Structure 1
Amino acid sequence: MAHIGRALELGGAGDRAAAREALIQLWDRVGGTGDALHRCTIAHHLADLQESVADEVAWDRRALAAVAELSDERVQRHDASLRVRALLPSLHLNLADGYRRAGDPARAREHLAVAAPLAAELPDDGYGTMIREAIARVGALLDAGSREPLAAP
């Protein structure tokens, strides 16, 4: 996880290409059958660093597939406060937004329909509020037929 954090620092500093390359190297090292928390985290962040919506959706799908193999026990070895169920709203939100931008409103709506009730279970804190507001924005953009990127609030 420390290596993933260092890769994300590159992206935070504006070097998306270096962050993407570092995460791809980590993905190759972990492999498609390695630790599910590492795969989910790497794929989730790699999705945000892609140049095309299709590639972004592919990485978001990998993240969602990996989370299906996670247990609360495993994520709590990393952070005692984490629960697998709390990861799902963000993963489904990302897929909903990706499918919306890719022009697949049916799949986008399917993932929003999963994300919204799960997000309602998140704590009423900054993270929970951010996810719930993003779900509402993606839903509004979907209703408007927009394929534009999701703007920050």
Structure 2
Amino acid sequence: MVDEQETSGDAVMTRIGQAVMLLHGGDREEARLRFASIWAEISDAGDALHQCTLAHYMADAQDDPADELAWDLRALAAAEGPSEERTARHEQSLAVRAFYPSLYLNLAADYIKLRHPEAARVHLDRARAATDALADDGYGNGVRAAIDRLERALGAD
């Protein structure tokens, strides 16, 4: 039974990864369709790490800033749910704690698009406070640089 669950979990992450590749390749519509299909399967009783990952990327596939915010909020809610035991079964880069800087950064960006600078500042501060979870690597440095850019943009308002 455990082996079956592991295989199933790996399959879900693989499918999410394939949709992410479509998104990054510019096929937003197909990515949205695939994300929606996976979400329909995992939204009610799915693994919180899968939900967080999927919602995090589904937000990036949205055209409407309000829809993007809704998906980013789902990602944050899911991030608050997984157990340490479950996340320990994934590679270190998928640890939920490392999601927080990016999740809060995305929420700050959403609130800027929606012209809510106060809410954006709150989430930007949370993103900055959570950066200790990031490694000193390309991903971590990229998230820190994005936080810096958004802080400068927000300060210019």
TM-score (norm 2): 0.86
Distance 2:19 2:121 in 1: 32
Deviates more, 1:76-85 or 1:109-118: 76-85
- In the alignment, structure 1 residue 50 sits paired with structure 2 residue 62: yes
> What aligned pairs does 1:103-122 form with structure 2 within 5 A after superposition?
103-122=115-134
Aligned residues: 145
Closer, same or farther: CA 27–114 of 1 in aligned 2, 3 Å? same
Segments ≥4 residues shifted beyond 4 Å: none
Hey, what's the Cα distance between the residues in 2 that align with 1:83 and 1:26? 21
User: Does 1:128 find its partner at 2:140?
Assistant: yes
Name the CA shift for 1:127/1:59 in 2 (closer, same or farther; >3 Å). Answer: same
Task: Say which of 14, 18, 25 aligns to 2:26.
Answer: 14
Deviation per CA, 1:77-106: give whole Å up to 9, x if none: 121454322111010000011101110011
The CA distance in 2 between the partners of 1:33 and 1:42, in whole Å, is: 14
| TM-score calculated relative to the size of structure 1 | 0.88
Q: Which of 73-82 and 24-33 deviates more?
A: 73-82
One-letter amino acid of the structure 1 residue matched with residue 35 of structure 2: L
Deviation at 1:9, TM superposition (A): 2.1
Structure 1: distance between partners of 2:92 and 2:60: 26
Match of 2:90 in 1: 78
Question: Cα RMSD over matched residues?
Answer: 1.4
Tell me the CA shift for residue 55 of structure 1: 0.6
User: Equivalents in 1 of 2:20, 2:93: separation in Å?
Assistant: 21
Give runs of aligned pairs for residues 85-104 of structure 1, distance below 5 A.
85-104=97-116
User: What's the counterpart of residue 40 of structure 2?
Assistant: 28
Whole-angstrom distance in 2 between the partners of 1:12 and 1:135: 21
- Contact kept in structure 1, 2:49 and 2:96, CA below 8 Å: no
Could you tell me whether the CA contact under 8 Å between 1:47 and 1:60 is conserved in 2? yes
- Indicate yes or no: 2:52 matched with 1:40: yes
- List alignment gaps of at least 5 residues for structure 2: 1-12
Percent identity among equivalent residues? 48
- SS in structure 2 opposite 1:124? coil
- Structure (1 or 2) with the greater helix fraction: 2
Aligned with 2:134: secondary structure? coil
